[in-house]
Amino acid sequence: MYDDSSPADRNARGHRLITGFSNPLVKRVRSLRDKKHRRREGLFIAEGLRILTEARDAGALPEMLFYARGGLDHPLAVELEAAIADAGGELIETTPDILTKLSGKDNAQTLIGVYPDRLTPLEEIDRDTAEIWIVAQALRDPGNLGTILRTGDAVGAGGLILVDDCTDPFGVEAVRASMGAIFTQQIVQARWPDFIAWLRTGPGQLLGTSLQTDHDYQAVRYEPPTFLLVGNEAQGLPADYQAACDVLVKMPMLGKADSLNAAVATAVMAYEIVNQRRDD
Beta-sheet pairing, 111-116 with 64-68 = antiparallel
Rounded to 5 degrees, φ, ψ at 30 are: -60, -35
The domains of the chain, with CATH numbers, are: 16-116 (3.30.1330.30), 122-279 (3.40.1280.10)
**Structural element, H or E, at residue 116:** strand 111-116
Residue type, 86: D
Beta-sheet pairing, 90-94 with 16-17 = parallel
> How would you list the strands of the sheet with 247-249, edge to edge?
186-190, 159-163, 132-137, 226-230, 205-209, 247-249
Closest CA to 74 of 49, 54, 52: 49
- Res 12: pLDDT: 65
Beta-sheet pairing, 205-209 with 186-190 = unpaired
Closest CA to 175 of 18, 19, 60: 60
The answer to whether the CB of 227 falls within 8 A of the CB of 206 is: yes
- Res 280: pLDDT: 64
Closest CA to 161 of 114, 212, 225: 225
Helix (H, G, I), strand (E, B) or coil at 159: strand
The answer to whether the CB of 116 falls within 8 A of the CB of 46 is: no
**Structural element, H or E, at residue 207:** strand 205-209
Cα dihedral 245, 251, 252, 255, rounded to 10, equals -120
Per DSSP, helices labelled H in 11-65 are: 24-30, 35-41, 49-57
Please tell me whether the peptide bond between 193 and the residue prior to it is cis, using omega within 30 degrees of 0. no
Helix (H, G, I), strand (E, B) or coil at 105: coil
Tens digit of each residue's pLDDT, the chain (280 residues)? 344 454 447 776 778 999 999 999 999 999 999 999 999 999 999 999 999 999 999 999 999 999 998 899 999 999 999 999 999 999 999 999 999 999 887 776 789 999 999 999 999 999 999 999 999 999 999 999 999 999 999 999 999 999 999 999 999 999 999 999 999 999 999 999 999 999 999 999 999 998 889 999 999 999 999 999 999 988 889 999 999 999 999 988 777 776 678 999 999 999 999 999 886 6
Beta bridge pairs of residue 134: 160, 228
- Res 277: pLDDT: 82
- Res 258: pLDDT: 65
